[in-house]
Amino acid sequence: MTQWWRDAVVYQIYPRSFADGNGDGTGDFAGALARLPYLAELGVDAVWFSPFYPSPLADGGYDVADYCDVDPRFGTLADFDAFLAAAAGHGIRVIVDIVPNHCSTAHPAFQAALAAGPGSPERELFIFRDAPNNWQSIFGGPAWTQTPDGQWYLHLFDSSQPDWNWANPAVPAMFEKVLRFWLDRGVAGLRVDVAHGLFKDPELPDVPDPTPSDRPSPWFHRPELVAHYATWRAILDSYPADVFPGSRTAVGEFWGDEIIHLEPYFVPGGMPQAFNFFLFQSAWDAAALRQTITASITLAEGSDVVAPWVISNHDVMRPVSRYGAPAPARSDADVDVALGTRRARAAALLLLALPGSAYVYQGEELGLPEFLDIPAADRDDPVFHRTGGARLGRDGCRVPLPWSGTAQPYGFGEGPAAWLPQPDGWAELTVEAQLADPASTLELYRAAIAARPGGEFAWLAGYDLAFTRGDGFACLVNLGREAVPLPVHASVLLASGTIAGGVLPQDTAVWLRLS
């Protein structure tokens, strides 16, 4: 129980789109509570909720107006507590999303800063200047917005998401209270949004190339972060580890352009977990994946920080569509869904056989494709709107889940329509349909989660992408063009596709019990 998070399977819930309990078209805690048995049967150790706090939802809730409450659209604090208690009854822990880089312009502290005017202590909580520099928003457009009194404020994301000033001790002090608020309620951990952000170079210098990237820069991967996260680790470690939910954890959303950019976080006493996004950034190519896996394992060696594996989340194109198109798809017609599904299933067996923890994003276990053809008028993501549609944004992976039935809203809720449209043709992808089909992607995930291997990781010689865990287990993935003979084995434990004639077909993965 102690460090349960070291090899846990964590299920990410994007609350708006998971399950709607009150029929208003938006997911909520009542809906999630009703679906807890589903999560228990899937076999996950914990759920991570993307933000559910009071928010204008300009960025799906990552624009927080109050860090210590629940938006009425999602329910109440009592509903949160009810979910937490019921989840504990299934042995499932809860992780909440902390958004420390920025808040919402609707946050009372930002409203007070606007009202107090230039030079006020209220403005010192944010980054106000008389003139902007040349930094660009990650969502497109400038990273500065002017207020009516002429000053500008910094926002690395949407103009509705002002950045906190982490150089002001009042900001870390406030967040410490936020952390304790949720930890005291019994959450098992925190997912930390834009963990490589927060501190900015105090000079706010212009940069030669303002194109957003995840390299170290005057706004990302600042040296102050390491000491800062040691203080959060100390808070986490001050909670008792010997009773449920075990030791408290935090998983940082650290993006880097290269694995080396994450190295500073892998130090004793650092944030317990740093997401490893390189698996899903890697092409469907054996050499690239192999290199990524080796580099990731090497990175964590010798530190007590772990780097969970991920193949999807609410910010990136769903694996079926990513692996099913030769170039980033812009339309559903660009995707070969059958190919993408084969590869996504193989990737699932890879994900769940690697050593350490894995995060599964809602709908990944159903093999949902990205919905790329959402009409512009229905799109919600500020990335779409700030770039005039040049970037489609992330709505396509945030489509409400199909639970049952043959037509929209596919059992998502009782209401006539969900907050984002679902595509036609998802009848075979519903939970209900997949539970009735032993060959479904859902059943593959359930079986794989139940049978995850332990033991030392070692590459298996003679294959492009194959490894063993301990003495008796092997995972092979065939990304080549030809079928590959299987090694001598006692039995096939699981396969992502049909195995016949002792060979592993293209775009297929298998788990073997070795003899």
Where in the sequence numbering do the catalytic residues fall?
A: 193, 253
The alpha carbon of residue 85 and the mean position of all alpha carbons in its chain are separated, in whole angstroms, by 23
Residue number with CB closer to ligand NOJ (28 or 315)? 315
Residue number with CB closer to ligand NOJ (21 or 308)? 308
From the number of C-beta atoms within 10 Å of its C-beta (0-12, 13-18, 19+), residue 436 rates as exposed
Q: Residue 257: what residue type?
A: D
**Minimum CB–partner distance for residue 183 and ligand NOJ (Å):** 21
Residue number with CB closer to ligand NOJ (93 or 196)? 196
Residue 62 in contact with ligand NOJ, rule: CB under 6 A: yes
**Minimum CB–partner distance for residue 214 and ligand NOJ (Å):** 11
> Sign of dihedral through CA atoms 320, 324, 329, 335?
negative
**Minimum CB–partner distance for residue 315 and ligand NOJ (Å):** 5
Reduce the DSSP state of residue 297 to 3 states and report it. Answer: helix
Cβ density class 112-127: b for 16+ within 10 Å, e for less: ebbeeeeeeebbbbbb
With CB atoms as reference, the residue minimizing the distance to ligand NOJ is 62
Residue number with CB closer to ligand NOJ (31 or 252)? 252
Residue number with CB closer to ligand NOJ (197 or 409)? 197
Residue number with CB closer to ligand NOJ (255 or 426)? 255
Separation between Cα atoms, residue 344 and residue 509, nearest integer Å: 10
Residue 154 in contact with ligand NOJ, rule: CB under 6 A: no
Separation between Cα atoms, residue 336 and residue 195, nearest integer Å: 35
Q: Which residue has the tokens 């130090």?
A: 267
Separation between Cα atoms, residue 333 and residue 371, nearest integer Å: 11
Residue 486 in contact with ligand NOJ, rule: CB under 6 A: no
Within 85-104, which residues bind ligand NOJ (CB under 6 A)?
99
Residue number with CB closer to ligand NOJ (71 or 315)? 315
The tokens of 462 are what? 């003679």
Closest by CA to 403, choosing from 13, 103, 29, 35, is 35
Residue number with CB closer to ligand NOJ (26 or 440)? 26
**Minimum CB–partner distance for residue 324 and ligand NOJ (Å):** 23
The tokens of 26 are what? 């938006």
Residues in the chain: 515
Cross-strand partners of 136 = 142
Q: How far is CA 513 from CA 158, 438, 455, 490, 491, in A?
A: 50, 21, 13, 6, 5
Interaction pattern, residues 246-285, with ligand NOJ; x per rule: CB under 6 A: -------x--------------------------------
Residue number with CB closer to ligand NOJ (187 or 310)? 310
Closest by CA to 162, choosing from 107, 219, 112, 229, is 107
Within 363-392, which residues bind ligand NOJ (CB under 6 A)?
none
Closest by CA to 231, choosing from 167, 306, 175, is 175
In this structure, what DSSP letter does residue 142 have?
B
Within 31-60, which residues bind ligand NOJ (CB under 6 A)?
59
In this structure, what DSSP letter does residue 396 have?
G
Q: How far is CA 238 from CA 265, 305, 310, 369, in A?
A: 20, 17, 28, 42
**Minimum CB–partner distance for residue 328 and ligand NOJ (Å):** 18
- Provide the H-helix boundaries in 354-430: 382-386
Closest by CA to 380, choosing from 402, 397, 368, is 397
The tokens of 324 are what? 């099913």
Residue number with CB closer to ligand NOJ (315 or 380)? 315
Q: How far is CA 382 from CA 110, 191, 255, in A?
A: 20, 22, 20
Out of 157, 164, 323, 412, which residue is the one contacting ligand NOJ (CB under 6 A)? 157
Interaction pattern, residues 200-239, with ligand NOJ; x per rule: CB under 6 A: ----------------------------------------
**Minimum CB–partner distance for residue 309 and ligand NOJ (Å):** 17
Out of 71, 315, 332, 364, which residue is the one contacting ligand NOJ (CB under 6 A)? 315
Q: Going by DSSP bridges, is the β-strand pair 457-459/152-154 parallel, antiparallel, or unpaired? A: unpaired
Residue 194 in contact with ligand NOJ, rule: CB under 6 A: yes
Residue 14 in contact with ligand NOJ, rule: CB under 6 A: no
Separation between Cα atoms, residue 221 and residue 281, nearest integer Å: 19
Neighbours of 32 (CB within 10 A): 27
In this structure, what DSSP letter does residue 51 have?
P
Binding residues for ligand NOJ, total number by CB under 6 A: 9
- Say if residues 6 and 358 touch (Cβ distance below 8 Å): no
Out of 20, 193, 332, 380, which residue is the one contacting ligand NOJ (CB under 6 A)? 193
Residues in touch with ligand NOJ (CB under 6 A):
59, 62, 99, 157, 193-194, 253, 314-315
